[in-house]
Chain A
Amino acid sequence: MKSLVALLLWLVAFSAVAHKPSDSYLTLERQGAAVQGQWDIALRDLDAAITLDANGDGEITWGEVRAKRAAIAAYALSRIDMASGGTACPLDAADALIDQHSDGAYAVLRLSGTCPQPGPALSVEYRLLFDIDPTHRGLLQYIEDGRTHSAIFSAEARAHTLGAATGWQQLAAYVHEGVWHIWLGFDHILFLLSLLLPAVLLRRGGAWQPAESFRGAFWDVARIVTAFTVAHSITLTLAALDVVSLPSRWVESAIALSVVLAAINNVFPVVSHGRWLAAFGFGLIHGFGFASALRDLGLPTGSLALSLFGFNVGVELGQLAIVGVFLPAAFWLRGTWTYRRVVLAGGSALIAAIAGIWLVERAFNVAILPLSA
């Protein structure tokens, strides 16, 4: 009976939670590739994690902290990861200083790091102390272009992606990334080119003839580009919002396959009139590829729609620029033997060969070409 009484008691008086809970204070300031910061972590919390009170007398002295300064920095750095542009930004911490907060003494770590490929967003993953105290919070102040944003890391929200300062700057940054992604993503360009190459020609009686009017060629191109755009916008949005997700190896292999098929179709034509349908169907797959690139850049929490929109606009602008250069040149050259034999047939065969190698590389996860898209 007595043990039941004792057991019952500790449950009852509960309005007692009245101390300040465990928080750390993280400030990060980004300027281009460089990240500077400061991280204040309560000595009590560090003691719970790596035992600062070496002699166990219930008091943490400066001597005890000093002896563990390297361990404090190593522990803290092992609990945070930063990345920008899909690449990790390694962090360093100087030896800990001390600061007094309203609820006790904190170790102060001065942080510095560099992002080798800075993108518009910085993603931060924070894991400090959640294993010891799931009610711990990391209170983040993020400074970029003189503007301060705040965010809270908790056991449920361990990662935040922090965007550029204003909406416009952020939009511009994502438009820029979108343009570069299509220009540097050779697989998308080659797919588009494979579909566009025959647009200035007409297939008559098993042979290629030059298109009669620029107008006809223009509308053929417009149909293909629009179908491709609508399709990849749909899947890019669905994937970026995590509505649909596909394994990236599958997506990348399918993109390579789409390039192979589109190029081979130019050499041994099977589909000649409904190329916009192929653009739409394969465009759906390319959208998933765009989404994984966008995910690598990081989508700022809180302005997801803006970044998604900006990136998509960038992809379209980049695509239009390619079409703008391609169409007049192709139209001008369309009647030549060179265009039909070298550019269309030879170029398509080359594209099919390159994409075939990508397909093998991606499907079987091996490296064949020195520089693969």
Chain B
Amino acid sequence: MSRFCPSACLVLTLLLGAPAFAKPFLPIDDGAVLERLPEKTDPSLRDVKRLRAALDRNPGDITLAARLARRAVEAGRETGDPRFFGQAQAALAPWWKQPDPPAQALLLRATLKQSTHDFPGALADLDRLIAANPGDGQALLTRATVLTVQGRYAEARADCARIARLTVPLVRIACDAAPASVSGEAASAYRALTSALAAPAADAGLAAWGETLAGEIAQRRGDSVAAEAHYRAALALDPRDPYLLGAYADFLLDCNRPAEVVPVLKDYTRNDNLLLRLALAEARLPELRASFGAHRSDLEDRFEAARRRGDTLHQREEARYALEIAGNSGRALALARDNWQVQHESADLRILLAAAKAAGDAAVLQEAGEWVRAHRLEDAAITALLR
């Protein structure tokens, strides 16, 4: 059979249309489980449903709407599932288009705009909030985060300085460490962050966030021993956070330890970012070729689906896929450049550089080199790419 397969199977596949999805069917068994909802893994997510039902009964109740939106944003952050962000937006529908909604709606709206990479929209809302209440720590922290993503480090650090009186030291220090560590002060930012982390933290989530950031800074500084310790500390506090899992997987891939990525991510294949990391690990493990093939085609489907709906939220990941899995450096460069127009994190620069190098685009390489020099960015992987 296998001797005939190359031609015969190709013809068969073409004839049958190799559809992206299987044929619709009628299940036989009533007990067959067709879908697992997020609340199966985390029963507390039922709150979102409950609050939604309550808001349906009292539409226009801003306190209830804000509670639902906040809970849904939390759920979205925990699960990485954009449906929760969409539900948060729906809860805010009466205030979504208003030029001047109440503060609680405005803050949530800014957060949601940020989650869909509408950074200018988010900043406009945050500016308005901070103008009305200069002591709004939450708005300041969010604005610092958005400004950091845009590469506006000085402005971000100014916001972080303003929240000093409003919150515990760790929040202020971590807020500042993010922009400081990518603008010439990695060593001092790291020192400040680790000493703040040494003090007992009031909140496990906050500590996990700080440890994740410390891990990323250590990794960029080329200290993989310290980075691993921070990631492990963070995982001990929050083992399911998708952002952390992605950062840790990237760390393992950088250390060329793909076999360790598989057990960490194998249950998160619904998350595109994590599925990408899993596939990147499997690609380097010959014994997992079958699973790699399946995951690769899943990723293709997901990117295709995103393209069809006109999404540009995953250009960074898609560029990485194009470069490291599909081996299409031209496409990777185009995606990485579009992505760089929107966000300026060091991971964005890294994929831009890697794609430019593979595609042999000297102009982009030079531009990226100038950015690194101008901002005094310290990142071992980027330095290696520029060499």
Taking beta carbons and an 8 Å cutoff, which residues of A are in contact with B?
Answer: 1-2, 4-23, 38, 40, 43-45, 47-48, 53, 56-63, 65-66, 97-105, 108, 131-137, 139, 150, 152
Chain B CB count within 10 A is highest, among A40, A44, A102, for A102
Complex Cα distance, B246 from A105, in Å, reads: 26
Q: List 19 A-B contacts (CB under 8 A).
A: A8-B141, A10-B77, A11-B111, A11-B141, A14-B77, A17-B313, A19-B81, A20-B270, A23-B309, A40-B21, A62-B28, A98-B25, A98-B26, A99-B25, A102-B20, A102-B305, A133-B86, A133-B89, A134-B96
Complex Cα distance, B242 from A1, in Å, reads: 27
B179 to chain A, nearest CB (A): 13
Given A98-B24, A152-B308, A2 and B145 contact (CB-CB distance below 8 Å): no
Given A47-B37, A152-B309, A17 and B70 contact (CB-CB distance below 8 Å): no
User: B273 interface residue, CB < 8 Å from A?
Assistant: yes
Complex Cα distance, B46 from A34, in Å, reads: 43
User: B87 interface residue, CB < 8 Å from A?
Assistant: yes
Q: Using Cβ atoms and an 8 Å threshold, which residues of chain A touch B171?
A: 5, 8
Q: Which of B83, B203, B298, B308 touches A6 (beta carbons < 8 Å)?
A: B203
User: B215 interface residue, CB < 8 Å from A?
Assistant: no
User: B127 interface residue, CB < 8 Å from A?
Assistant: no
Do B36 and A59 touch across chains, with their CB atoms under 8 A apart? yes
Do A13 and B35 touch across chains, with their CB atoms under 8 A apart? no
Given A16-B76, A16-B77, A134-B90, A21 and B21 contact (CB-CB distance below 8 Å): no
User: B133 interface residue, CB < 8 Å from A?
Assistant: no
Do B70 and A10 touch across chains, with their CB atoms under 8 A apart? yes
User: B6 interface residue, CB < 8 Å from A?
Assistant: no
Complex Cα distance, B100 from A271, in Å, reads: 58
Residue of B nearest to A46 (CB): B35
Complex Cα distance, B203 from A2, in Å, reads: 8
Q: CB within 8 Å of A: which of B314-330?
A: 314, 317
Q: Using Cβ atoms and an 8 Å threshold, which residues of chain A touch B74?
A: 10
User: B224 interface residue, CB < 8 Å from A?
Assistant: no
Complex Cα distance, B170 from A1, in Å, reads: 12
Q: Using Cβ atoms and an 8 Å threshold, which residues of chain A touch B77?
A: 10, 13-14, 16
Q: Using Cβ atoms and an 8 Å threshold, which residues of chain B touch A19?
A: 79-83, 270-272
Q: CB within 8 Å of A: which of B1-54?
A: 20-41, 43, 46, 49, 52
Do B243 and A99 touch across chains, with their CB atoms under 8 A apart? no
- Chain A interface, >50% SS class: mixed
Chain A CB count within 10 A is highest, among B20, B34, B142, B272, for B34
Residue of A nearest to B22 (CB): A100
Complex Cα distance, B202 from A6, in Å, reads: 9
Do A133 and B142 touch across chains, with their CB atoms under 8 A apart? no
Q: Using Cβ atoms and an 8 Å threshold, which residues of chain B touch A66?
A: 30
Complex Cα distance, B206 from A92, in Å, reads: 53
User: B114 interface residue, CB < 8 Å from A?
Assistant: yes
Q: Using Cβ atoms and an 8 Å threshold, which residues of chain B touch A40?
A: 21
Q: Using Cβ atoms and an 8 Å threshold, which residues of chain B touch A44?
A: 35, 37, 83
Residue of A nearest to B311 (CB): A21
Q: Using Cβ atoms and an 8 Å threshold, which residues of chain A touch B37?
A: 44, 47, 53, 58-60
Do A99 and B22 touch across chains, with their CB atoms under 8 A apart? yes
Do B85 and A5 touch across chains, with their CB atoms under 8 A apart? no
Residue of A nearest to B276 (CB): A18
A-B contacts at CB below 8 angstroms, number:
213
Do B40 and A57 touch across chains, with their CB atoms under 8 A apart? yes
Residue of B nearest to A62 (CB): B27
User: B134 interface residue, CB < 8 Å from A?
Assistant: no
Q: Using Cβ atoms and an 8 Å threshold, which residues of chain A touch B346?
A: none
Do B35 and A132 touch across chains, with their CB atoms under 8 A apart? no
Do B24 and A108 touch across chains, with their CB atoms under 8 A apart? yes
Do A16 and B35 touch across chains, with their CB atoms under 8 A apart? no
Do A5 and B206 touch across chains, with their CB atoms under 8 A apart? yes
Do A98 and B87 touch across chains, with their CB atoms under 8 A apart? no
Q: Which of B86, B212, B242, B273 touches A22 (beta carbons < 8 Å)?
A: B86
Complex Cα distance, B224 from A309, in Å, reads: 67
Q: Size class of B's contact patch?
A: 35 or more
Residue of A nearest to B139 (CB): A11
Do A20 and B272 touch across chains, with their CB atoms under 8 A apart? yes
User: B115 interface residue, CB < 8 Å from A?
Assistant: yes
Do A59 and B242 touch across chains, with their CB atoms under 8 A apart? no
Q: Using Cβ atoms and an 8 Å threshold, which residues of chain A touch B273?
A: 15, 18
Residue of B nearest to A104 (CB): B35
Q: Using Cβ atoms and an 8 Å threshold, which residues of chain A touch B137?
A: 4, 8
B235 to chain A, nearest CB (A): 14
A307 to chain B, nearest CB (A): 24
Complex Cα distance, B206 from A7, in Å, reads: 10
Do B302 and A20 touch across chains, with their CB atoms under 8 A apart? yes
Q: Using Cβ atoms and an 8 Å threshold, which residues of chain B touch A23?
A: 305, 308-309
Do B167 and A135 touch across chains, with their CB atoms under 8 A apart? no
B343 to chain A, nearest CB (A): 9
B323 to chain A, nearest CB (A): 19
B34 to chain A, nearest CB (A): 4
Residue of B nearest to A43 (CB): B35
User: B274 interface residue, CB < 8 Å from A?
Assistant: yes
Given A19-B79, A133-B89, A11 and B35 contact (CB-CB distance below 8 Å): no
Do A17 and B35 touch across chains, with their CB atoms under 8 A apart? no
Do B24 and A99 touch across chains, with their CB atoms under 8 A apart? yes
Do A103 and B270 touch across chains, with their CB atoms under 8 A apart? yes
Q: Which of B25, B46, B242 touches A16 (beta carbons < 8 Å)?
A: B242
Complex Cα distance, B82 from A23, in Å, reads: 11
Q: Using Cβ atoms and an 8 Å threshold, which residues of chain B touch A105?
A: 34-35
Do A102 and B298 touch across chains, with their CB atoms under 8 A apart? yes
Complex Cα distance, B205 from A4, in Å, reads: 13
Residue of B nearest to A101 (CB): B21
Proximity bits, B58-71, A CB within 8 Å = 1, else 0: 00000000000010
Do B167 and A4 touch across chains, with their CB atoms under 8 A apart? yes
B184 to chain A, nearest CB (A): 23
Residue of B nearest to A153 (CB): B309
